[in-house]
Amino acid sequence: MDHCVQDNESVVAILQDVLTRVKADDPSIEYAYRRADNAGCYHSAGTLLSLPLISEKTKIKISRIDFSDPQAGKSGCDQLS
């Protein structure tokens, strides 16, 4: 994983796959809340504009997006991963 591509296309594909699997595991889930660090691939226009389509395809509405912006060191998202 040290040399993987982390562009917005990868982020979109992974997010859609995760939500598809979540919906398959628990069809009652209707909403998702997304949290990410402030890397460009997470808040690029391509990623943000794809979210309504991902919601439509997966039947899980992405109703909130939070970005962490640490002042020093790793963010909470990085620490938990």
Give the model confidence (pLDDT) of 11-34 as tens digits.
Answer: 889 999 999 999 999 999 999 988
**Computed from CA positions of residues 24, 81, 2, 11, in that sequence, does the dihedral angle turn out positive or negative?**
positive
Q: Which residues pair with 64 in a beta bridge?
A: 33
Contacts made by residues 40-45, CB under 8 angstroms, sequence distance 24+: 41/6, 41/7, 41/8, 41/10, 41/11, 42/11, 42/67, 43/67, 44/8
The pLDDT score that the predictor gives to residue 41 is: 47
Q: Specify burial of residue 14 (Cβ count, 10 A radius: 0-12, 13-18, 19+).
A: exposed
> Pick the residue with more confidence: 16 or 10?
16
